[in-house]
Amino acid sequence: MGRITPAPGALFGGGNFRLYGNHLEINRRGFKGFDVIYYSDVAGVTLKGKNMFVKKAAMKNAVMLQFKKKD
């Protein structure tokens, strides 16, 4: 099986996640590949310091993305 590569043309690359015009890709830990979250599925976003919490409409828990710098 070949290696999975992220889609080209990312607007922002944050290490283990990438932001695109219509979706967000998050690298899976311990597995090969990544999860894709489309912006139309996002119910809310919360920023706290270096952490961004993305809540999907169909999920009770949120996905946490961590930035290296607070800017």
**So where are the chain's domains?**
12-67
Report pTM: 0.69
pLDDT at res. 7:
75
Mean pLDDT of 2-15: 76
Query: How confident is the model over 36-55, as a mean pLDDT?
Result: 88
CA gap 64, 53 in Å, rounded:
5
Find, among 26, 15, 19, the residue nearest to 67 by Cα. 15
